[in-house]
């Protein structure tokens, strides 16, 4: 049995040194997303953001995780408005005032992956869109807080779903939860076991142990949670045309609680 597997589990266990290496990859992703967020203004194309991301990642000595991954043609996913995830950057997609842009970014540094996503308000967005993004981010942080030794995998799912429901009640809205897509294990590969659902009852799935690393990534919509994949084979949109938001962090399980590997350096 490989040293990094536990009997009955397929979740990779990392040493402290390996988690620290993942943290370095996570910092590259955090810096890249910060620069992309700053640059995402009306009049900017999504391909320009992609070029900025690739340059930032490579200047750090890292490699974009997404570029060429199963044929994906870009270094970031840039999903605008009704696009939920896997949006392909394009010179033909110019950001406009009021757009809601979700950017997913990954980097490989010394063989280790970091993966994170943010939703960016482009110019002056509606109050409903701001609340949608805030609800999604709150759901992510609730999931992050559940990444603790002794918890079970679906404790994270339950925390994400519960936070989304609470946000909807507070906002007087019913947010759609995208259930086909969710979080995942991460390490020397970007997508590893286990799949981490964003909904579910607590107390199910593998027990979390120190050294595991997971990407927690809820996606909410302003309407139905039903999705449609476009003919490009990548872009996933809301079936009803409602706006969508996506937030993600890579998180390590430690004896001291969750360690957010893709958080900005000052966090």
Q: Would you say 156 and 199 are in contact if contact means Cβ atoms under 8 Å apart? A: no
61-78 per-position pLDDT tens digit:
999 999 999 999 999 999
What residue has token string 């909807």? Answer: 168
Q: What is the pLDDT of residue 151?
A: 98
208-265 per-position pLDDT tens digit:
999 999 999 999 999 999 999 999 999 999 999 999 999 999 999 999 999 999 999 9
Q: What is the pLDDT of residue 106?
A: 98
**Minimal CA–CA distance to 65: which of 17, 114, 128?**
114
Report the predicted TM-score, pTM, of the whole model to 2 decimal places. Answer: 0.95
């Amino acid at each position: 049995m490989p040293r990094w597997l536990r009997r009955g589990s397929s979740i990779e266990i990392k040493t402290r040194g390996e988690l620290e290496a993942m943290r370095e990859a996570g910092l590259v992703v955090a810096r890249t997303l910060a620069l992309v967020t700053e640059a995402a203004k009306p009049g900017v194309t999504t391909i320009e953001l992609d070029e900025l991301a690739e340059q930032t990642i490579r200047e750090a000595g890292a490699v974009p995780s997404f570029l060429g991954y199963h044929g994906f043609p870009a270094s970031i996913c840039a999903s605008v408005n009704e696009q939920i995830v896997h949006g392909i950057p394009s010179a033909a997609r110019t950001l406009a005032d009021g757009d809601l842009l979700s950017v997913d970014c990954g980097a490989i540094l010394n063989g280790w992956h970091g993966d994170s996503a943010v939703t960016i308000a482009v110019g002056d967005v509606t109050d409903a869109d701001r609340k949608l993004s805030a609800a999604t981010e709150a759901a992510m942080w609730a999931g992050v807080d559940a990444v603790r030794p002794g918890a079970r995998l679906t404790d994270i799912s339950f925390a994400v779903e519960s936070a989304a429901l609470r946000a909807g009640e507070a906002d007087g809205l019913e947010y759609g939860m995208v259930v086909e897509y969710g979080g995942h294990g991460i390490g020397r590969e970007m997508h590893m076991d286990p799949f981490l659902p964003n909904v579910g009852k607590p107390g199910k799935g593998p027990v979390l142990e120190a050294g595991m690393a997971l990407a927690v990534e809820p996606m909410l919509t302003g309407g139905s949670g039903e999705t449609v994949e476009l003919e490009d084979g990548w872009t996933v949109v809301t079936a009803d045309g409602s706006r969508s938001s996506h937030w993600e962090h890579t998180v390590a399980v430690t004896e001291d609680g969750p360690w957010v590997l893709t958080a900005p350096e000052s966090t």
